[in-house]
């Protein structure tokens, strides 16, 4: 896989060369564009010959990285490898401008039948209650502003910011930090909690505004976790979604966290998302939006997840870095309000750290300087995690999946093909969360990521 520098990370900026696309017998092709190690991908269902023989489709392209993968062999791997990159220039190029360009690309595919855009359910921002499967209007914001949301203006602002940073010969690390902060500022200005969901929302707006006659489907998965069955249970790459919390608890480094015990954490296994992608391409209708999640059909609550994680590590403890002593775990404290969190941190951490800071300033006690630095880094890490997870653990979002249920019931089950229903299962009702988290997800996380 190629890794592009910031200067070359435009995603599908123009169309002029020759790139072959393979249409597989089922008419499914996974088209991937990548930029700065961040993957954004789409499914195109190609209308092939009536006998569904494999065909080649050639499209004029230029300066574009495109590759076609069979959905299950590599598509799932790609899905699990997606990152929430918070650098605004990269996120905007991938999640928004890339969508605009792929639409222009799709319009040149004369035999194109459908285009599937993979978004995220959390484009809704920090809302509570039932979140419907409805589209954004172009330029829509989640808060009242005097400026209209326009991705082309955002692109110009990013270019200006990068130009200024380039003139001052700023280091790459400083540029990354500045662009992360700039993205957060722009997201919050328009009502979104972070850069990722903000740029994803603009991507959806592009789909609705510029699709013209292209039949499009938007799929919004919730919090993607390890596989339920395929290619094997518990498979995952890297720390995703709630996995950082699991590792923190298992290693005894997360004594507290922000979260309301009765809030449902909407989880969905990665292979079920892929199944929904495939079946929405086969049975879905253009213009539809599908929420793929579990909160409305089979919710699992934060308090339950905490108990499952605690129980697992009590029975199957991790060991220290010398692999000699089992790590003792405690059930983490859930703080339900930001104000409560701030008071707890001030009394439990900031006050002792302030005293320690004064102590290490004394010449004969400077040996404790490393202790101060280590504990300060630990607190800062926890606070970064809290900022990332705040929209998901404080707001009781229930994602309506009426359209998705219609896809399952009317189309898939209506086909009366039992093998199809079993092979491409994406029904959250089939998941026993206690069994899945304790016997599948955490063991898979330890096997494929931690060890």
Looking at the annotation, which residues are catalytic? Answer: 196, 200
CB 32 within 8 A of CB 78: yes
Among 433, 425, 432, which residue's Cα sits nearest to residue 407? 425
Q: Is 230 left (phi over 0), alpha (psi -120 to 50) or beta?
A: beta
DSSP H or E segment with residue 390: helix 369-393
Tokens 């009702």 correspond to 429
CB 313 within 8 A of CB 250: yes
Residue 9, helix vs strand vs coil: coil
CB 135 within 8 A of CB 403: no
Start-end of H helices in 12-83: 76-80
**Beta strands of 254-319 (E only): which ranges?**
256-258, 267-269, 289-292
Among 282, 116, 93, which residue's Cα sits nearest to residue 179? 93
CB 115 within 8 A of CB 106: yes
Residue by residue, DSSP assigns 200-227 as HHHHHHHHHHH-TT--EEEEEE-EEES-
- Cα–Cα separations (whole angstroms), residue 369 to 350, 351, 422: 16, 16, 59
**In whole angstroms, what is the distance from residue 100 CA to residue 89 CA?**
15
């Amino acid at each position: 896989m190629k890794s592009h520098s910031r200067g070359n990370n435009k995603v599908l900026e123009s169309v002029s060369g020759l790139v072959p696309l393979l249409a597989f017998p089922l008419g499914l092709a996974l088209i991937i564009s990548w930029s700065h190690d961040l993957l954004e991908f789409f499914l195109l269902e190609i209308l092939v010959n009536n006998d569904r023989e494999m065909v080649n489709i050639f499209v004029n392209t230029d300066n574009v990285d495109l590759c076609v993968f069979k959905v299950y062999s590599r598509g799932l791997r790609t899905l699990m490898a997606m990152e929430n990159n918070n650098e605004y220039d990269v996120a905007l190029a991938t999640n928004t401008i890339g969508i605009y360009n792929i639409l222009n690309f799709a319009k040149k595919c004369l035999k194109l039948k459908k285009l599937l855009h993979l978004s995220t359910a959390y484009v809704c921002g920090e809302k509570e209650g039932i979140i419907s499967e409805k589209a954004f209007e172009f330029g829509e914001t989640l808060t009242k502003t005097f400026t209209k949301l326009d991705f082309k203006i955002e692109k110009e602002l990013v270019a200006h910011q990068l130009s200024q940073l380039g003139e001052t010969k700023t280091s790459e690390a400083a540029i990354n930090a500045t662009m992360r902060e700039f993205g957060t500022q722009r997201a919050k200005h328009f009502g979104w909690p972070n850069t990722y969901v903000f740029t994803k929302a603009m991507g959806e707006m592009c789909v609705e505004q510029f699709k013209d006659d292209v039949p499009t489907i938007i799929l919004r998965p919730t919090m993607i976790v390890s596989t339920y069955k395929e290619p094997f249970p518990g498979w995952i790459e890297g720390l995703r979604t709630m996995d950082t919390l699991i590792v923190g608890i298992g290693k005894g480094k997360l004594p507290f966290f922000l979260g309301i015990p009765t809030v449902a954490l909407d989880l969905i296994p990665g292979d079920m998302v892929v199944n929904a992608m495939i079946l929405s391409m086969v049975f879905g209708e253009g213009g539809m939006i599908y929420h793929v999640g579990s909160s409305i059909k089979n919710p699992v609550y934060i308090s339950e997840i905490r108990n499952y994680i605690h129980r697992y590590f009590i029975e199957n403890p991790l060991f220290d870095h010398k692999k000699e002593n089992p790590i003792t775990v405690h059930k983490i404290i859930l703080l339900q309000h930001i104000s409560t969190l701030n008071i707890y941190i001030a009394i439990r951490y900031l006050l002792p750290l302030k005293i320690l800071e004064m102590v290490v300033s004394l010449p004969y006690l400077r040996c404790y300087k490393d202790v101060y630095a280590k504990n300060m880094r630990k607190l800062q890490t926890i606070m970064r995690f809290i900022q990332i997870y705040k929209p998901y653990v404080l707001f009781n979002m229930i994602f309506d999946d009426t359209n998705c249920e219609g896809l399952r019931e009317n189309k898939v089950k209506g086909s009366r093909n039992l093998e199809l229903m079993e092979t491409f299962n994406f029904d959250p009702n089939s998941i026993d969360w206690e069994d899945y988290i304790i016997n599948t997800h955490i063991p898979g996380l330890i096997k494929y990521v931690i060890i």
